[in-house]
Amino acid sequence: MAEQPSGDALIRAQVGQQPVPEFSETAWTVPPPLAEAKVAVVTSAALYPRDGESFTVTDTSYRALDHAERQLVMGHWSPNFDRSAFGIDYNVVYPLARLDELVEQGVIGSVASKHYAFAGNQPDDVATIRYDSGPACAAELKADGVDVVFLTPV
């Protein structure tokens, strides 16, 4: 009997077939040397501070997360991934301890004072992300002097 595909394989097959927004061009920004760069994390894990505002089911907004804040709730609504991993070790989604170590090692210049979380929601034309919350988040990152954004899904 053929082996049953894993849950992850089924999700990947399903999501991989769905329509995605396509971009006619890919912008390209040359970063400074990594050892001089300020790095921020942006994740779609729907993280928010313990006493902060949670994400609604169709939320396209984002939350700013202080670098020092580690007591975060993962408020993503999807049941289709390992929801326990973040609670076991936040670095597997949101690798701030690893980035701090890279600063100590001189691999990266510095870590941003704020990071950002979205909830992975987007209407088919991704208009809100493209023209509203995405640019607003970019402006906050630039105001903090960020050079490099490391993006993680769940």
Partner 1 sequence: MCTLAHVFEAASLSTVTITSIRAVGERMRPPRVLHCEFPLGRPLGKTNDPEFQHDVLRRAFSLLERESGPVLEDHPNEIVADEEPLSCTVPPRFDPDLAPAVDEARGLRKAYDRALGRRGVSEVGNAVDADGVPHALDVLQNIVNGTPWKEAGIPGGHTTALANDIRAYYEEAALELTDAPNPGGHQTEDWFFERTEAGKLVLAVRKALAAQGAPQPVWFFMAPMYRS
Shortest separation between residue 1's beta carbon and partner 1, angstroms: 16
Pairing of strands 38-43, 47-49: unpaired
Q: Which residue has the tokens 């979205």?
A: 118
Asked whether 72 and 49 are in contact (CB, 8 A), the reply is yes
Shortest separation between residue 153's beta carbon and partner 1, angstroms: 5
CA–CA distance, 112 with 132 (Å, rounded to integer)? 22
Shortest separation between residue 3's beta carbon and partner 1, angstroms: 11
| Separation of first and last alpha carbons in the chain | 32
Shortest separation between residue 117's beta carbon and partner 1, angstroms: 11
Q: Which residue has the tokens 């169709």?
A: 58
Is the Cβ of residue 63 or residue 146 nearer to partner 1 in the bound state?
A: 146
Phi then psi for 151, rounded to 5 degrees? Answer: -105, 130
